Each structure stands twice: as C-alpha cells, then as structure tokens.
Amino acid sequence: MNIAEEFLLPALEVKSIEDEKRDSVRIANICAAKSVADAVRTSLGPRGMDKMIQAADGEVTITNHGATILKQMSVIHPTARMLVELSKAQDIEAGDGTTSVVVMAGALLDAAEKALDIGIHPTTISDSFQRAAAHAMQVLEEMSTPVDLENEEELIELASTSLNPKVVSQNSNGLLKLALKAVKQIIDPESPDNVNLNMIKLVKKLGETVEESELIDGALIEQKSMGHGGPSRIEKAKIGLIEFQFSPTKSDIENQVVINDRRELNRAEKKYVIDLCKQIQNAGCNVLLIQKS
C-alpha cells in the first residue's frame, strides 16, 4: 500500500459514515411524517371513517376532521409536528381540506423517498416540486369558475361538500343556511376574499337538538343574570366597558389609617360606588362589563 492509498481510504470511510448518517436521518424524518398521513388517510373522502379518540381525562371525540384528529394526538417528532401545523394552517386559511393536505404531503414525501433511493439529489427533488406546484396552480386557475355571492343555492351547494361527511350531515340543510348567513354578515364588500372567521363564535349547549341551533346577530355572554327575573336579552344595547375595580380602591403602599367612626367609612365607600353608578346611568349604559371585582 502506497502513501496515497493509506491516507485516502480513511477519508473514504469517514465520508461513507457521514453519508449513511445523513441518509438515515432523512429517511427517519420522512417515515415520521408519513405515519401522520397514514393515521388520517382512512378518514378521507365520502367513504372515510370517523375516528374515536379518548383523551387522557376520559373525554371522547368522534370526528373525521383532520385538524381535530391531529390536535388530539400526542405528536412529539419535530417533522411529524410540521404536518400537524400544516393541517392547522389549512384549517385557518380555507376551513376545509385539513385531511387532504396531510395525505397529499405524505404522498409527496413517499415520492421523494423513492427518488432519493435511485440517487436523485434532494435539491433537484425540491426544485421539481416547486415547478409542479406552479403548474398545478395554473391548471386550477384555468379550471376554476367565478362564484356569485348573491346566488344562495350555489353557495349552499359548495358548502355542503364540507359538511356532508360530518356526523351532523343529516341536519345539514338548516346548519348550512345558518353558516351562510353568518359569513355573509361579516364579509367586507371592499375585500370579499378576506373574511375574518374569528368574528363568528360557536357556542355549544347541552339539552337541545341540532335543529334548535340559531344565529344570534350580536354578542352572546355566557353568564347568569345578576338577579332573579333579570333580562336575558337586550336589544340596541349601549355597552360600558370598565377595566378598573368598581369597588372602593385600596392603596398600593403601606400606610396606617386611623378610623374614628366606622359608619363614616361605610358612608364614604357607599358614596364612591353611588357616584360611579350615577355616571354610568347618565351615560345611558344598559349593559355593563366589568373586568375586576
């Protein structure tokens, strides 16, 4: 063995070990992400099955909604967590397709794994995916048709594709009309493509059927009335928001107070509260929301 071979062989061995380690990590990441896609694959499509998930506290959830399923799962692997976040982002951005996007990502990773096995460089695979995505967007743009926001029947038909696979699909007719009415009320005519769904709050209550669901044009406060027979619904409310403490304030510094007459102190505290009440009454406020006390 000459000097060149003596120094070259160890270098080749080190490079081979590094390549194997890099490839094994890459394959482990792909497998972790694919396992997440496999977990929700059977819930996709019109023949998809619901998943029954039991949380640590015993609460049982039955759903085929991808984002909900993945939210209930304890996913630790960083790459697998990326698919969970992908499903969440899809839910926020589009409100549907949370399962499809994860299954599609799993299929792309499977194709990438096969391409790596035959020696294609990861950069080449990534660039190819980018070009394919751009072409897919072009095809989808050509296939798309404009939607008339005033055509209620067409909008209900479009929305039904999201609700039909759900457990409540038998009550879809009423729920679809409620959902459509709620969304149309928060659409900004100047930017109809940008809808803030956080303006719609879903409140679930036990004891009624799905048919009893209703849309409330206003704010729903889940609090009991302050007194027996108090109002449960207020129209044209003038709302007051109070961030400070309504009861008499306490000093933040250490001091000593000498009280000669306890009744005088009670009168002073009572006068403080009464003065606040008069100011609220004079402002015409009929709904008061207090942060403290």
What is the residue whose two structure tokens read 């609460």? Answer: 59
What is the residue whose two structure tokens read 């005519």? Answer: 189
- Does the reported pTM lie above 0.75? no
Note the pLDDT tens digit of each residue in 205-234: 888 787 888 888 888 888 777 777 778 888
Supply the mean pLDDT for the chain. 81
pLDDT attached to residue 107? 92
Contact (CB, 8 A) for 69 and 43: yes
What letters, b where the CB count within 10 A reaches 16 and e where it falls short, cover 94-120? eebbbbbbbbebbebbeebeeebeeee
Note the pLDDT tens digit of each residue in 246-291: 777 666 666 666 667 777 778 878 888 888 889 888 888 888 888 7
Note the pLDDT tens digit of each residue in 42-68: 888 778 888 888 887 888 888 887 888
pLDDT attached to residue 138? 94
Note the pLDDT tens digit of each residue in 61-89: 888 878 888 888 888 888 889 988 998 88
